[in-house]
Chains A and B, each alone.
Chain A
C-alpha cells in the first residue's frame, strides 16, 4: 500500500484594506482596537439594520479576479448563508453562492504548473471569539470590531499535490494582493487565512482508494501550512491503513493545527448537515455589469503586471538571473525603484545587471532616490583610481581634523559624523556610509 497522490484544494480568505466595512461605514481597520468600539446597528446585527455594499470592495474583488485570469460574471448577487454562532450577529453571513463575481482563473507556480481557481467571491467577516475563564466560569467573549470587514474568498481546484506547492501557491496569492495594494496579506495578523482541504489517493493491490477529505483550520503562517499538511498526509495514510474508510458523502472532517503539540486535532463540526439554506439576500439588489463596464475592468486589470510576469520580464528585458529577478520583484515598490534606476542608468551607460547587484547586495548607501543612486554608481565608476584603502586614509585624515565630530558621535549623536561624509564627497564625489566612518571612530 502506498500514497499514489496527495490531493489538496486551498480556500484562501483575504481581508480587503478598504477604509470602511463591507456593508456599513464603520472603520475596517480593526486590528488591535479596543473591543466593540467600531460597531454600528448594521455590523452588530441589531433589529432593523440593513446592509449596503461597499463599492470599492466590489471593484477590488473584480480586479483581483480579472488579474488572475478569471471570468467576470455579468450577473451576480449576494446570498445569505444561514447558521448560528455567537460571532455571527445576524445569524447569517452575507456571502455569495450561486452567482459569485468571478469564475475561473489560475496561479502559475515556478515549475510552470497551473493551479486552477474555481471561483472568487466576496463576503463579510465575523466577529472575534475569545475563550476565557471569568470568575471560575468558562466563557466566550465576543468582539464585533471585525464583524463586517470585507473578505475575498479564493477557492482553488484540488490541483495542488504537495505541501511545498501549497506554500508556493499561498505566497503567490500574498504577492498578488500586495501588488494590487488591496490587502496586507498578513497571515500572522489574520488578514490572509488559509484552509487546506486534503485527501489522499492510495494504491493497494492495483486499485486506487480515496481517503475522506479533511479541512484544516487555525493555520496562521506559511510554515504552519507546510507542517500541518505534512502531518495530515501521514495521519490520513496511517488512518486508512488502520480502518480502510473511504471518501463518502458527509464524512468530511474538520481538524485544527496545534503548533504546541505539532499535531492536528478534531474540531466539532459546525452543523451535522451543513444546511446553510442559501437564498438571494432580498436586502441587496443584484449586480449586473454592462459589456462596457466589464471591458473597463479588464482594461484596469491588464495594467497590473502580475509579480511572476514581472519577474519573467525582468529576466528577458534586463537580462537578470532568475534569483535576481525574484528578489527584485518581491515587492512592487522595489521593482518600480529598480526600473526607474535602470531607465536613468541607460544614459550613463550603467547596465541593469550592475544596478541589480548593487541593490541586492546593499552596496550603496541606504535611502537614495533613483537619481542619487545612479549618481553614486557613476562616481564609483568614474573614479576608479580611488581604492578602498584610499577612502580609509581620507576618513582617518578628516576625523583627526574634526575632533568635534568625533566628540559629538561619542556623545551619542551619530549624525555628527555627517560633516566627514560631506568632506569626502566633496573631494572624491563618493558618498561614504556614515556607519563605515562610525566603525573607524569605534576602533580609535
Chain B
C-alpha cells in the first residue's frame, strides 16, 4: 500500500526540477497516491523466476565505427537558445561557495 506523503512530493519536485504551486501540490498528492495504490497490485505477482525486461529488441553489442562526421555549425547549435554570448550558451551564474575564477 502506498503511503505517499506531501514531503515525498516536495522531494520529487526538487529532484525533477518541477515546481509545483500550492494547488498543484494538493492535486498531485491525491492523484499520484491513487495511481500508486493502483500500481501496487503488481506486488501480488510472483516474479522470482523471471528476469527484468530492460531492453525490447533482444539485440546486443550494437556499436558505431570511430569515424568523424560533420558537426552542426555554431550558428545552428545556438539557434534555439534563449540566451547566448560570443558563441557560448548563457545562463545565470551557478554558484558554488567559492571565489574561484
Contacts and interface: CB of A to CB of B under 8 A. Distances in A.
- Asked if A pairs with B, the answer is yes
Interface of A: 18-20, 25-27, 34-41, 44, 52-58, 77, 84-86, 129-132, 134, 137-144, 218, 256, 258, 265-268, 271, 275, 277, 279-280, 282, 284-289
Given A256-B100, A282-B54, A139 B74 contact: no
A86 B72 CA distance: 20
Contact of A36 (B55, B78, B97): B78
A25 B60 contact: no
Given A141-B85, A142-B88, A268-B95, A53 B63 contact: yes
Interface in B22-37: none
A35 B54 contact: no
Contacts, number: 143
A130 B101 CA distance: 9
A96 to B, nearest CB: 14
Interface of B is mostly: loop
Nearest to B66: A56
A288 B58 CA distance: 11
B95 to A, nearest CB: 7
A18 B23 CA distance: 51
A84 B94 CA distance: 12
B68 A19 contact: yes
B98 A256 contact: yes
Given A267-B98, A288-B61, A141 B88 contact: yes
Which interface class (under 10, 10 to 19, 20 to 34, 35 or more) fits B?
Answer: 35 or more
A275 B12 CA distance: 10
B77 to A, nearest CB: 5
8 contacts: A27-B68, A44-B72, A53-B63, A56-B66, A138-B92, A141-B88, A142-B88, A265-B98
Given A86-B89, A256-B100, 7 more contacts: A20-B68, A39-B72, A41-B72, A53-B63, A142-B88, A143-B89, A288-B60
A36 B76 CA distance: 10
B86 to A, nearest CB: 8
Contacts of B98: 256, 258, 265, 267
A20 B92 contact: no
Given A27-B68, A288-B60, A131 B90 contact: no
B67 A285 contact: no
Nearest to A141: B88
A144 B84 CA distance: 13
Interface string B57-75: 1011111111111011110
A25 B64 contact: yes
Given A138-B93, A143-B88, A256-B100, A36 B77 contact: yes
Contacts of A129: 94
A416 B33 CA distance: 89
A367 to B, nearest CB: 33
A12 to B, nearest CB: 22
B63 A55 contact: yes
B45 interface: no
Given A84-B17, A131-B93, A36 B62 contact: no
A28 to B, nearest CB: 8
